[in-house]
Chains A and B, each alone.
Chain A
Amino acid sequence: MLEKSKKKINLTVSTILIILLLFGLYLMELFLSPSNMIFIVLQKGVIYALVAVSMNLLNGFTGLFSLGQAGFMLIGAYTYAIFTIPNEARTAVYQYFGGGLIKFNLPVTISIILAGVMAAVFAFLIGLPVLRLKSDYLAIATLGFAEIIRAIFQWNALGPITNGSNLLRKFPSLDSTGFSKWIQKITCDIFGKTGNVTGATIYAFIASGICIAIIVLLINSTYGRAFKAIRDDEIAAEAMGINLAKHKQIAFCISSFFAGISGALLAMYQTTIQASAFKSAMTYEILLVVVIGGIGSITGSCISSFLFIAASEWWLRFLDAEKYVGGVKVPFLRSGFRKVVFSIIIMAIVLFYRQGIMGTRELTPAGVWNWFKKTFIKSAPKKSKEA
């Protein structure tokens, strides 16, 4: 009975927090200039959070060390773009391929889901041979597949569909969806003008939030427990009657599904996409986000992806600009120094804080409240623990 009411409180608090968060984002869009760095950090951060969580599902919860994330993002991004470029824009986009082969388009939401499905289908086919491999061989094989996918999408013979090695553009971006029209209309009704509100950040948060919530539900289900069993001891898990091949395949496909969706969202954020951008370096970045957050912690991945994007795009920017203090040039400050400092920080985390920010723990409202009680209200009962 107590457990049940506790769960209920937790759920209510979470819902209230989510509503407050979305409302806060709305206020930010209303009052801040749209070129504010915070929007870049929030939008890119939440998209990276989704892909990091999807990678964590595979690397942290199932123990499959896969490095194919960039490839699945590429499939997602391209699927989304191919199906949503408006018909009248196709001649301009596919200028070298006679306006392209596909002459219809689909609604944004359906295209995003289709992006995930395509990525999952590819993952299923790739998984058939590859998932039999062990740890580092699996890593290198998935990395190889990501490279093959990139080569296929750049192939000129597929030009009428993928536009070869040229850019894909003019598809609906984060601030030109039906949702943003709706939110602009509401703003107009309330304040009499739309102002800067585009709904872009809110859209990214809602889309990624739904996906992450589904992953969390999955991890807490029987499937999730089977994944963890496989991670902890493959042989023991098999002995307990868990079908290894089936569960590995499920984890791989689901992880790729959400990587595909985050690819579609990334395409919406960037407004143009090109296959050559989805290099293995991108996978490494996502892997580092997962490591910094803690392998096996969903909230850790989310927190660290915001920190990662904020640090690389915003907070460390000053390191790139040459600076003079009292007429003397500060040494080292020059274009590119930011990334050096950044990678040294990452190395320090990898070497000295191997647990990352969260380890395998999760951040929950109840956990934060207990911690707060423990540190600031001394008389609180001692039994409180990190939830």
Chain B
Amino acid sequence: MNWITQNLPYIFAGISVGGQYALIAIGYTMVYGILRLINFAHGDIFMVAGVIMVYASATMPMYVSIPLVILTTVVIGVMIEKVAYKPLRSAPRMSIMISAIGVSYLLQNLALYITGGLSQRYPTIPAISKTVTFLGTTTKVVTLVTPVLTILLVTMLVLLIKYTKIGIAMRAVSKDFETSQLMGIRINSVISMTFLIGSFLAAVGSFLYFTNYTGVTPTAGAMPGLKAFVAAVFGGIGSIPGAVVGAFIIGICENIIKGVGWTTFSDAFTFALLIIILVFKPTGLFGEKSTDKV
């Protein structure tokens, strides 16, 4: 009990970071579920949302810039799919992955050019950056808002996938790409919708994530992106609840490791977890088993 009260700030931070990872991880897991592609550029889309927020809030009031950031991020995400992934749909999987790495390189360099390479100060969003005292520890409001908002958004997403027409189409496409095409599902609109949802959640995640940090740099998206991907694999790639559970576990473990004083290894831990999971249970916690046919 004593240990818990001592480490409460770290656990809170972990839950909060976990929620932010979860929002990014959903983008990875949905795209992988449908296209079988690790969208290496997803972490950078998240970073781009941060950069746009910096510039938008400098000239516009908060209630305009937040929707604007979400809108631009979604447009960028969908555009990337149209330009960089769609032409390669019949190409080997390695080509699409290389294209994704190329997009990530391009987005980082573009951000480097626009920001001039300096860390840009992230604006304070008044509603979520106040400090509060909760259970005897002081934290920012964002720490408490994140898990609630994450669970709310994920519930909505799960309902969308379960009950709406586009959701059913998505599930069909992720089960069997070719057959669903033959059944008259418009593959392109389903894929666009996937990227739309992924980018939307990444944009929301970026508000929550960057509020905890002082600035946005062009490489700020790489690490959270990779960790969110690990979370998606941990939970079983293709499964939305899996990604969320995985993200929370990774966020909490990482912050406890920081609390113990092993900060150097907080990143390494995530990858060690990934490798352990891949070796012992490649399908993850909630993933479906797939068999290879000759």
Contacts and interface: CB of A to CB of B under 8 A. Distances in A.
A343 B279 contact: no
Interface residues of B, number: 46
Contacts of A335: 113, 116-117
B167 interface: no
A124 interface: no
A174 B135 CA distance: 60
B109 interface: yes
A133 B109 contact: no
B222 interface: yes
B267 interface: yes
A136 B38 contact: yes
Majority SS of interface residues in chain A? helix
A31 B264 CA distance: 48
B229 A139 contact: no
Contacts of A139: 38, 97
Contacts of A284: 101, 104-105
B87 A340 contact: no
Interface string A123-165: 0000001101101110111011101100110111000000000
Interface stretch (B63-71, B88-96, B149-157, B243-251): B88-96
A150 to B, nearest CB: 8
Q: Name the residue among B87, B91, B106, B230 with the largest chain A CB count within 10 angstroms.
A: B106
Interface in B29-46: 36-38
B278 A65 contact: no
A354 B233 contact: no
A: contact size bracket? 35 or more
B127 interface: no
B294 to A, nearest CB: 6
B99 interface: yes
A343 B271 contact: no
Contact of B112 (A137, A143, A235, A336): A336
Nearest to B117: A336
A40 interface: no
A350 B275 contact: no
A193 interface: no
A129 B281 CA distance: 12
Contacts of B38: 136, 139-140
A280 B95 CA distance: 18
Contact of B109 (A136, A152, A336): A336
Contacts of A132: 279
A350 B102 CA distance: 8
Contacts of B83: 351
Interface in A363-380: none
Contacts of A152: 268
B110 interface: yes
Contacts of A144: 226, 230, 270-272, 274-275
Given A154-B264, A155-B264, 16 more contacts: A133-B282, A136-B93, A139-B97, A141-B274, A144-B230, A145-B275, A280-B222, A281-B105, A281-B108, A288-B101, A334-B116, A344-B106, A346-B102, A346-B106, A347-B102, A354-B91
Nearest 9 pairs of A and B residues by beta carbon: A144-B271, A151-B268, A336-B113, A339-B109, A343-B106, A148-B268, A129-B279, A343-B109, A350-B102
27 contacts: A130-B275, A130-B279, A132-B279, A135-B93, A144-B270, A144-B274, A151-B264, A151-B267, A154-B264, A288-B101, A288-B105, A291-B98, A334-B116, A336-B109, A336-B117, A339-B113, A340-B106, A340-B113, A343-B106, A343-B110, A346-B106, A347-B99, A350-B95, A350-B98, A350-B102, A351-B88, A354-B95
